[in-house]
Amino acid sequence: MSLTKDYWHLPTYPQLLKSFQHYVHQSITGQLSSELALDECAADQEKILRSSAAQRSEDIQ
C-alpha cells in the first residue's frame, strides 16, 4: 500500500469536493449540460490546485 496515491490528504480536498458537487448538481438539475458542467468543474479544480501550489511555493521561499 505504500505506492498508493491518495487525494484525501490534500489540504484542498474540501474545496475540490465542493466544486465537484456544485457542478454535478447543476448538471443534474438541468442548469448546465453534463459536458459543460464537467468542463467548468475541471477548470475550477485546476484553478484551485494551481492556487494551492503557488501558496506552497511561497511558503517554502
CA–CA separation, 23 vs 46, rounded Å?
A: 14
Q: Is 46 helix (H, G, I), strand (E, B) or coil?
A: helix
> How is 20-35 classified by DSSP, letter by letter?
HHHHHHHHHTTSS-HH
CB 44 within 8 A of CB 3: no
Who wins on pLDDT, 8 or 60? Answer: 8
**pTM of the predicted protein model:** 0.77
Cell of 48: 484551485
Express each pLDDT in 4-41 by its tens digit. 666 667 889 999 999 999 999 999 999 999 999 999 99
CA 46 from chain centre, in angstroms, equals: 6
Q: Which amino acid is at 41?
A: C
